[in-house]
Structure 1
Amino acid sequence: MTRSVGLVGWGAIGRTVGTALAAGAVEGAELVCVVDNRAIGDAPAPQLSFDEALERCDLIVEAAGQGVVREWAERILRSGTDLLIASAGALTDEELTKRLLAAGPGRVYVTSGAVGGLDLLQAARGLGPLHDVRLTTTKLPSTLEQPWMDEELLTRMRTATGPVEVMSGTARDIPVKFPKSTNVAASVALAVGDMDAVRVRVIADPGADRTRHLIEAQGPSGAYRFEVAHLPDPDNPATSRIVPYAVLRSIAAVAGRSGQIL
């Protein structure tokens, strides 16, 4: 069965995902429409309203930010449509997560995004709770600036000549403060099974030619350390170039493509 895909968001992630789907890059998945609150003229499928997308699609792919998940996810699932979430940071809200898991009959999926090793962390967690879980994310200062920051912090980031710690906290706290830059924190916490168990440091580094995520964890089965260093997306440096391809891989898994490692 071919999945009828509605893509929410036509930004750096959505453009790559939508263009690939329209070109037939994912067997068993067809791009039916694009949903965006801006008028777009270059999409390879019709731009429809949210209501129209629900009528035509059996899989909605979110590539537009945490706000879309909070506003639309429950309704999508209640309609019987499946949902693939790219903005995992929205799921730091445990009440929202509980509602989504209970919503149905549509199913909810979360893509791995810009980080690896999540499957191994999930497997290790089966032997007992992981502890001393740490994530260090390093990005260019300009990609981390937020409206809530005071002038002292902004000046420190903008004039830095080396790495500067911008914030530290748990995976529950950080994605709320950096909604476009730290979805990885939520993804790691979902794999570990505890938002409060993952300690996160956000580092601004003017010399960061790559976006780096370092994950460290220990548990009954051993110790784990993963590091990725991604090239930023040229159109949106707040995200990594790899993210839309992680979304495409997840769509392929949902569509039931055989012969791959899940």
Structure 2
Amino acid sequence: MAAPLVWTLLLSLKNNAELVGNSGAALSGPYTLENYVAILGNDRTLRWLLNSVIVSLGTTVGVLVLCSLAGYGFARLDFPFRRTLFTLVLLGLAIPSQAVILPQHQLFATLGLHNSYPGLILPGLITSFGVFFMTTYMRAIPKELDEAAMLDGASRFTIFWKVILPLTVPAQSTLAVFTFLGSWNDYWWPLISATRSDMYTLTVGLASSQMNYAQTSGLGFLMAQAVFASIPIFVVYVIFQKQIVRAMAGTAVR
């Protein structure tokens, strides 16, 4: 698993001219940061990076809000057809996104949402896994906490906001990381929805560079773009790794 990552990093540190005839030149020096300097001076790459940040953060925030509310409803409330609706949510785990891509594309085209941030974010808010994950986590929280809060006159929303939600921070952190990584690495929907280069996310933009500009920009520059795109993912995981371990361990125990 580490070998391709190390190879990509070595290629990104080499002069493009040295790699034209032999990519094996990456195994020996000298190494340079000129490809990374070129990235920082390339408005197109920075635009793609900004698009990915906006889409990934927007999707992550939306998923946390919707899944937390849905999870609380399924785990703590009694309402008609609760089991049936939750079963439908679980069935959503078995439906691949490719199965609904045609009606989804037609719907967003009719609404005029292609080549826009809402068009890139909204499909990512539909996540059966997130609802299932938050429901499972909230079910393990003792219901005596709700009853005690009700005796103090707290409303349902107050219980959700001040009692239950703070206890689910590890689960929310895990869901946030998974959602952010999934949105950041998503290639399928941005490729379909974004047809203008200024609305490309980083994954689509890098792919277009590889297809159209690999010979002119150079292999080293292309690999530097790949490394540059991976830095935010690495940073997010390092920051939230403790919460991820706590959430997964807690879920396994429950």
When you count helix as a share of all residues, which structure comes out higher? 2
When you count strand as a share of all residues, which structure comes out higher? 1
TM-score normalized by the length of structure 2: 0.23
Larger radius of gyration: 2
